[in-house]
Chain A
Amino acid sequence: MAVQPRVIPPPAPEFALRIAALPVDRWTKCLQCGAFIYYKRLEKNLKVCPECNFHFRMSARERISFLLDPGSFQERDAELTPGDPLRFRDSMAYPARIAESRRRSGEREAAICGTGSIGGYPIVICALDFTFMGGSMGSVVGEKVTRSVELGVEMQTPVLVCCASGGARMQEGIVSLMQMAKTAAALAKLAEVGVPFFSLLANPTFGGVSASFATLGDVIMAEPKAHIGFAGPKVIEQTIRQKLPEGFQTAEFLFEKGQIDLVVPRAELPSVLKKFLAYHVKPAVLRAPVPSPSPSPRASTPTRAAWDCVQLARHPDRPNLSEYINALFDSFTELHGDRHQRDDPSIVGGLALLDGRPVMVLGHQKGRGTKQNIERNFGMPHPEGYRKALRLMQYAGRTGLPLLTFIDTPGAYPGLQAEERNQSEAIARNLLVMARLPIPVICTVIGEGGSGGALAIGVGDRVLMLENAIYSVISPEGCATILFKDSASAPRAAEVSRLTAQELLKLGVADELVPEPPDGAHTDFAETAASLKAALRRNLEALASLSGSELIDRRYARFRAFGSFSNGVQEQ
């Protein structure tokens, strides 16, 4: 359906008058801590209790007003009014209930939509209003969300939907249920044209709203302590006949379970959103990259014994991903969770700027010291880590962001739960998806490249290796145990496995070596990071001119070429 961009005049005067006439207590009692707060202080604090940080509900109009740049909001489709498809009547007729909600809320419906800007970046916004029939989604809410998304498609402008809803509107029955499919279908079109969708979940977000557009965001943010879920806690308790744990279905709970990217305090939302919007500005308007040192491949560095490389690649002081992220990028915003299981801390990913150019970054994260390494599981991802990586790769692929991956893992985690959650499929799926990403993909082995767990984020157009990094199908110790029946033969296994960067360059697995200081990256991190940054910049520049299909074709050819055989008889 073609979208007719139209600016609708402000709401009818009686609504505006009603809003102005709403008497508000001069002092408001906090619903959580019971403190009395001067109402204007509460307003100044964006309706967050200054004593206990309780986030009071905000109307859709208040939310739009504080999120968008002053004066930038242009409301659209304000005139939309719901029908009564079922001629529904409970304790009162549906039209009477609508009229009552209008009187109470001062709004025509439970959603307000339009265009505006955040920090100067244009955005299409649709905000749901819980004060209007619990923010329930009937035809009008569904239509406004859909039209907002369609407008995003037409204007190639990011879309933000602010959710606060009990779910589908019962009074419109099956018609309201269909809004779930309608909004999701519109979002599929938005994804196809590569425009990002941001979803902000406020208290509460449940039912048909949470099971449609609310949880389909490329980035999903939630306000602290917001209650979010499909079925309400009381329904669940009654069904399973068990008490639910403290904090169940809160934003923090969802974050822990990998379902949302961020929990953002209300006051920080405009700046966080501005940052996300900045990541989606087309690179053409950004500053040109700084000329980088002369290109390699470089294969002339003094050869080091393979086992020495293994020791350096595993050195406890060797720089890890987060240290590279700090050194390489102008800014980085981490995204969390696989949307299904949890946020695996052994994979870190997010949006970043490399010399002002937006990129997606992801990689294995080891810790520094025992405590951190336990937290990061020694850089050994579970399936949910790979699924988080998959989600971010797909996000980058959809929105045209180059993907930079950093490999540093002993391998995928070999554990009971990892197998239960299908570790193999998680790795395999990434190989499949990476092969067809229509964006430049540059993979860098910064430490250990442990087998399939490394390759799961290693299918790139260019594979760089730090000089002392290693990459192999099995650890030298594993190889020694299996083939030499003696783990003490690991140095010999390392040698014959040809796992060093030098060897891999010769084999064509690596395309370029990034120089390290003579005694390893950890002895002069700044120098190593500068070399890596220059290499990334140069390779990114070289790939930038290729189309998506060219990149895919070349990547296919690159990996298609691996193999060593002769007609019918495989070489030894």
Chain B
Amino acid sequence: MKQGSLEKSSTTPTDTSTVASCYAAGLQALEQGNVTAARDWAERCGALPDASRDSRCATLQGKIAVALGNFQEAANHFRTAMQLDPRELGLARQLVEVLQINAQLGEAVKVLENLAGKDPKPDVFIDLGYARLANGDRAGAREALERAAALQPQDKVVLFSLAQMYQAIDEPGLAVEILSKNLRSEGTSRLLNELAGLFLRLHRHRDAEETFRALGERDRAAELIAQHGIIWCRIKQTDWRRALEVALDATKLDRYGETTKFLTYAKDRFFANPLDASEREAELLRCLHDEMDEYAEVHSSDPIVA
């Protein structure tokens, strides 16, 4: 592509004499949601003598295919466009996008690795990390996400992605470090719920208790989960008295459900060491995890920082 750009040109949409004008008109039609008109422009574009040497015809066809939900076809067009104009990085991004939608992750990884060499941006490394992970390359995934974090150490999305990656490759300690150091203060209830879960996984009950407290304060709807979490953390710190106090307090919110189980166990442990303690603790932990999973599901579309 001579111009080296896919941006809309200022050519009027009625001009059918050049690839640039047809391309611009086609894009405009797509923006207006008129796919039929966009197709007309793509056809006119393809009929021009220099069409086979210009990536924009294929690019327009790719975009039309995306608009129609034909992602396999879109990938073919973007591949053609990339062959015609290998220096145009925007084309690689568009190809990666449709490859990821098609779950053609092997090819996506190759394109992303190439792209990362030419245009090392955090979002490229994030996609590369996830695509590698989905392909089973855990070490490569970690390396890509760490490079993204090195490029933008303060970027919340990058850091959250890195934390997720660490969790996925069984490095919860590293995930906790990132989330608690960088995101906790501004974290939404979704993030705090996840962080509390990580602390529980690492048996860091003091930290988990603080996180549960923050969760309850940030979202009143999560108050009961937070109370249950605090009771659990107190139990694991063998602070039976405080566990019992929090459980009693929690009965203001709920007198029937899980709270009763926590209250009964805290009371029993306060006075004795029941024989079935381990089974009951396993049951309480299961209940807490169920509540947290349910909360995570409901809030899975929430932002991670306020």
Q: A interface vs B, CB < 8 Å?
A: 22-24, 26-29, 31, 34-36, 38, 40-41, 44, 50, 56-57, 90-92, 104, 130-131, 134, 234-235, 238
Q: Is the CB of B97 within 8 A of A41?
A: no
Query: Quick one: given A31-B293, A36-B168, are A234 and B258 in contact (CB under 8 Å)?
Result: yes
Interface: B212 (CB within 8 A): no
Residues of B within 8 A of A130 (CB): 298
Query: B133 at the A/B interface (Cβ < 8 Å)?
Result: yes
Known contacts A26-B126, A31-B297; A238 and B103 CB within 8 A of each other = no
Asked whether, in the complex, the Cβ of A31 is within 8 Å of the Cβ of B296, the reply is yes
Q: A36-B168, A40-B97, A130-B298 are in contact. Are A27 and B103 (CB under 8 A)?
A: no
Cβ contacts under 8 Å, B103 to chain A? 38, 41, 50
- The 5 A-B pairs at the shortest CB distance, nearest first, are namely A38-B100, A91-B220, A27-B130, A23-B303, A41-B101
A-B contact pairs, 8 of them (CB 8 A): A22-B302, A31-B293, A34-B168, A38-B101, A56-B300, A234-B258, A238-B256, A238-B257
Whether A104 and B302, one on each chain, are in contact in the complex, defined by CB atoms closer than 8 angstroms, is yes
B71/A36 in contact, CB under 8 A = no
A27 touches B297 (CB 8 A): no
Chain B interface size range: 35 or more
* Interface residues in B281-300 (C-beta closer than 8 Å to A): 287, 290, 293, 296-298, 300
Q: How far is the CB of A152 from chain B (nearest CB, A)?
A: 31
Q: Counting chain A CB atoms within 10 Å of each CB, which of B71, B223, B287, B301 scores highest?
A: B301
- Taking a contact as CB atoms under 8 Å apart, the answer to whether A36 and B300 are in contact is no
> Does B152 reach chain A (CB closer than 8 Å)?
no
Given contacts A29-B164, A40-B97, A92-B220, contact A235 B130 (CB under 8 A): no
Q: How far is the CA of A56 from the CA of B253 in the complex (A)?
A: 29
CB-defined contacts of A104 to chain B, threshold 8 Å: 302
B94 close to chain A: CB less than 8 A: no
Residues of A within 8 A of B54 (CB): none
Q: Which B residues have a C-beta under 8 Å from some C-beta of A?
A: 69, 71, 97, 100-103, 123, 126-127, 130, 133-134, 161, 164, 168, 220, 223, 253, 256-258, 260-261, 287, 290, 293, 296-298, 300-304
Decide if B100 touches A36 in the complex (CB within 8 Å): no
A246 to B102, CA, bound (A): 34
Known: A22-B303, A31-B293, A235-B256. A38 touches B130 (CB 8 A): yes
Least CB separation from B302: chain A residue: A104
| Shortest distance between the CB of A25 and any CB in chain B (Å) | 8
Task: Give B89 Cβ to nearest chain A Cβ, in Å.
Answer: 18
With A104-B302, A131-B298, A238-B256 in contact, is A36–B130 under 8 Å at CB? yes
A410 to B258 Cα, complex, angstroms: 52
Chain B residues within an 8 Å CB radius of A235: 256-257
- Cα A104 to Cα B101 in complex, Å, equals 27
A28 to B304 Cα, complex, angstroms: 13
Whole-angstrom distance between the Cβ of A170 and the nearest chain B Cβ: 12
Query: Nearest Cβ in chain A — how far from B304, in angstroms?
Result: 8
- CB-defined contacts of B298 to chain A, threshold 8 Å: 57, 130-131, 134
**Besides A31-B300, A36-B133, 5 new A-B residue pairs in contact (Cβ under 8 A), listed by A number:** A23-B304, A27-B164, A41-B102, A44-B69, A44-B101
Output the least CB separation between B105 and chain A (Å): 9
In the bound complex, how far is the Cα of B127 from the Cα of A57, in angstroms?
24
Task: Write the nearest CB–CB distance from B26 to chain A, whole angstroms.
Answer: 21
Residues of B within 8 A of A23 (CB): 303-304
Find chain A residues with CB under 8 A from B297 CB.
Answer: 31, 57
Cβ–Cβ contact A24 & B130, under 8 A: no
Closest chain B residue to A131, Cβ basis = B298
Please pick, from A35, A57, A238, the residue contacting B134 in the complex, using a CB distance under 8 A. Answer: A35
User: A22 — which chain B residues lie within 8 A by C-beta?
Assistant: 301-303
Q: How far is the CB of A50 from chain B (nearest CB, A)?
A: 7
**Chain A residues whose CB sits within 8 angstroms of the CB of B126 once the complex forms:** 26-27
B103, closest chain A residue (CB): A41
